[in-house]
Structure 1
Amino acid sequence: MTSGLSCLLISPAFPGLVDFTAGLFSYEAKRFGNAAIGHLQVMQTTVRQMKATAGPNFTANLLKSKDINLEMPFLRKTNDFYNQVPYFSDMEHWGVEDYWATPVELVASLGGDCEDYAIAKYMTLKEIGVPVERLRITYVRAINIGETHMVLAYYPTPDADPWILDNLIPDIKRGSARTDLVPVYSFNDDDLWLANGTARKGGATTVRLWRDVIDKMEKESKL
């Protein structure tokens, strides 16, 4: 994992997760074996079902509501789905020290690590209509395991105590309850925040490996 704040790049729009093509299935099957097709079909069906359940007015309803019960079922479903994917270090799985996989790569290869889970959860919740300003991919120090780590934080309001979607534990807990995690920085499509709360605004900014993920997702959408 990297904390390369010096490599900030503009992020384009993200491709969707519900319109996989035959070309994509074929490509991933060549990379990871025929079982990848089945894995991706399950993913596609899961995201489609959540999107259908959320409905076309989900974003508007979410912005009006102060009831966490409206979005919590989708947070739990997303968290549980991707946490089923077996954990492997980047060196074990990809043969490199640091690799950020797309959601398709995570599921097709049936393996990934913390940043891959966080990215897939972010993309999925965005796909079903959760506003981007409520989502932050968050780089932390995980005290209990003595490693850098990545989670997805959900903020019902900008100043809220966020809900943390994590692969280390199955439950979604408030950030204040996760004393084992020390925030370093967080980001979404639009902004980047340092641990002290300072925001770097003014456009879609991100770190180098995040841009790599977006570039790969764009290529996946064209297969």
Structure 2
Amino acid sequence: MTDLRSRSRWLLTIIASFFIVVLAIAAIDEDRLRTYVQGRFGAAAVRNVRDWRESVARLTGQGESERLQGINDFFNRHIQFQDDTVVWGQDDYWATPLEFLGRASGDCEDYAIAKYFSLIELGVPASRMRLIYVRARFGGPGSTVSVAHMVLGYYAQPQADPLILDNLLAEIRPASRRTDLTPVFSFNSDGLWMAGAEQPTAPVDRLSRWKDLLLRMRAEGYAP
């Protein structure tokens, strides 16, 4: 009887989670998104947004690993990497997901941000994800050539070895297998962590670009 009750509670939790995700997706005014993108970026951008929304719909209700891989694949395959100076004429611009899709190009921060919010929309808790600033080493073991880079980390448990969603690789790998990456700090909607910290060390509001990003997302109509 105890096993039956446990299974029933587990099943009800799964069903409730599914409907929460469906309601969250339904709350996004897709007509408004398309109208905004059409007016600012043109018809090609509307097709990008349509493909994104179809991808989100297909992943709804799937397991967490399928959602992670599906979103990682979508942005890595649909968007071309390009520096902010080329796309926006600025040294460092954090694009909203709609801007990223509208231009169909962007840099590492834009990939990580778009994946983060798409996964939140699909029901992955923000507490399980962090946008991680790293130094990425190029040239193989022993190389001293490194650049600033951002990836998205997924933590199955708070102290778990995070899975890394990266525009540089199609495969999602644990951080322990990404010895080319050296963490500097990470953040999500709940706070900011310095490398090695177990608890947030500062509020995320300290990142002015993050606050500006959220304001622009709300103005566009996409704020999951």
Q: TM-score under structure 1 normalisation?
A: 0.79
122, 129, 135: which one aligns with 1:128: 122
Distance 1:124 1:148 in 2: 23
- 8 Å Cα contact 1:17-1:44 kept in structure 2: no
SS in 1 for 2:115: helix
Distance 1:89 1:204 in 2: 25
- CA shift in 2, pair 1:27/1:129, >3 Å: closer
- 8 Å Cα contact 1:190-1:205 kept in structure 2: no
Residues 65-214 of structure 1 mapped to structure 2, 5 A cutoff: 70-84=63-77, 85-144=79-138, 146-197=146-197, 199-200=199-200, 205=205, 207-214=207-214
Per the alignment, residue 18 of structure 2 pairs with: none
Q: CA RMSD in A?
A: 2.0
Point out the structure with the larger helix share.
Answer: 2
* Offset at residue 131 of structure 1 (A): 1.4
Q: Percent identity?
A: 42
- 8 Å Cα contact 2:193-2:202 kept in structure 1: no
Greater RCO (CA < 8 Å, at least 6 residues apart): 1
* Offset at residue 49 of structure 1 (A): 2.2
Unaligned runs of 5+ in 2: 1-23, 139-144
Per the alignment, residue 34 of structure 1 pairs with: 43
Unaligned runs of 5+ in 1: 1-15, 55-69
SS in 1 for 2:58: helix
Distance 1:94 1:135 in 2: 27
Q: TM-score under structure 2 normalisation?
A: 0.79
* Offset at residue 34 of structure 1 (A): 1.5
> Residues 55-77 of structure 1, C-alpha deviation per residue, up to 9 Å, x if partnerless?
xxxxxxxxxxxxxxx42111110
SS in 2 for 1:187: strand
- 8 Å Cα contact 1:17-1:124 kept in structure 2: no
> Residues 148-204 of structure 1, C-alpha deviation per residue, up to 9 Å, x if partnerless?
000000000011111000001111001011011000110111121101215336866
- 8 Å Cα contact 1:187-1:206 kept in structure 2: no
Letter of the 2:41 partner, please give it: F
Letter of the 2:196 partner, please give it: N
SS in 1 for 2:193: strand
